[in-house]
Amino acid sequence: MKSKAVATPTRTKEILKTYGFSFKKSLGQNFLIDVNILKNIIEEAGIDQTVGAIEIGPGIGALTEQLAQHADRVVAFEIDQRLLPILEETLEGHNNVNVINQDILKADVERVIKEHFEQGQQVRVVANLPYYITTPILMKLLMDRLPIDSITVMIQKEVADRMAASPNTKSYGSLSIAVQYYTEAEVVLNVPKTVFMPQPNVDSSVLHLEMRTAPPVQLEDEEFFFDVVKATFGQRRKTLMNNLARHFKGEMDKQEIRDRLEKVGIDPSRRGESLAMEEFASLANVLYK
């Protein structure tokens, strides 16, 4: 008889009881207990028999088990040692899974990809990420420019909305620009808190990030571009002019900033949230010296 999927309330409770496992708040552990949602995530992530999958924080293996059934190979990074014997049991019979007991933020992910996947194989990241560390993990994956094709993650709804936001919306900010510079971002699924154990205090969303093959804008200097973007959102209610004057104090006076903005046709009285990525690029390039 085929044993029940890990992602069911009864099987999850059973596993936790057998191992006397208690959730660590500091690790943001919330396990998924709904198989249909996991299947949706795998579909949205584009996982099939040809794909190599990387998972972050497999927990007791709810998503890992589903990935193992659909992907060619799975590599999962788990920081909590207490979960290793549990994963050994729940993933028994899946010989295409490797669990690495390491903090993803400290891991050499590029080396792991080279070691575990075929050269030229599509590699996709799929994870139910701990809320408290979502942004650092995603920014590491993006900024390290890893050979991955996409990232599909379950994260806090509010953060997913910010990462996929368009100009002139409340959620749009420097995080939207940072994520969309590297990827095409889309919220593909909203998930109620009832499908987790323990239940978190907030709702979740699944965010799909398709990696760009080239940056969407031409920049004089990437780091300077991100600095300028951050500065324009420094105080959201203030104009571009005010935020930039504050940022460049001692380097550029207001008149010089005004002249440069006018040169690229950007009104100094606009606010950061009204600028599209292309306008931010023009702005950063004209201010760069």
pLDDT at 42 over 80: yes
Which residues form the domain of 228?
222-287
Q: Tokens standing for 246?
A: 């504050």
Asked whether residue 206 falls in the same domain as residue 234, the answer is no
Domain membership flag for residue 217: no
Four-CA torsion 258, 262, 264, 270, nearest 10 degrees: 70
Q: Say which residue, 24 or 19, is predicted with more confidence.
A: 19
As a whole number, the mean pLDDT across the chain is 94
Q: 99 with 164, same domain?
A: yes
**Binding-site annotation, residues for S-adenosyl-L-methionine:** 30, 32, 57, 78, 103, 128
Query: What would the pLDDT profile of 47-92 be if each residue is shown by its tens digit?
Result: 999 999 999 999 999 999 999 999 999 999 999 999 999 999 999 9
Residues 271 and 188 in one domain: no
Token output for 264: 């690229």
- Residue 3 within a domain: no
Closest by CA to 78, choosing from 123, 7, 129, is: 129
What is the CATH classification number for the domain harbouring 280? 1.10.8.100
Coil, helix or strand for 53?
A: strand
Residue 134 identity:
T
Tell whether 226 and 202 lie within a shared domain.
Answer: no
pLDDT in tens, 98-129: 999 999 999 999 999 999 999 999 999 999 99
Mean pLDDT of the region 136-149? 95
Q: How many domains does the chain have?
A: 2
Token pair recorded at residue 27: 């690790």
pTM equals 0.93
Cα dihedral value 216, 222, 223, 226, nearest 10? -30
- Same domain as 169, residue 242: no
| Binding annotation | 30, 32, 57, 78, 103, 128
> Does residue 182 share a domain with residue 94?
yes
Is 261 contained in some domain?
yes
Q: What is the pLDDT of residue 1?
A: 34
In the predicted structure, residue 220 carries a pLDDT above the cut 90: yes
pLDDT at 211 over 90: yes
Give the residue from 172, 188, 211 where a domain finishes: 211
Q: Say yes or no: 166 and 278 in one domain.
A: no
Which residues is 124 bridged to in the sheet? Answer: 53, 150
227 with 176, same domain: the answer is no
The verdict on residue 1 lying in a domain is no
- End of a domain among 179, 211, 243? 211
pLDDT higher than threshold 90 for residue 4:
no
Asked, for residue 185, whether it belongs to a domain, the answer is yes
Note whether 72 and 195 are same-domain residues. yes
User: Residue range 236-263: average pLDDT?
Assistant: 94
Asked whether residue 140 falls in the same domain as residue 262, the answer is no
Task: Please check the confidence at residue 206 and state whether its pLDDT lies above 70.
Answer: yes
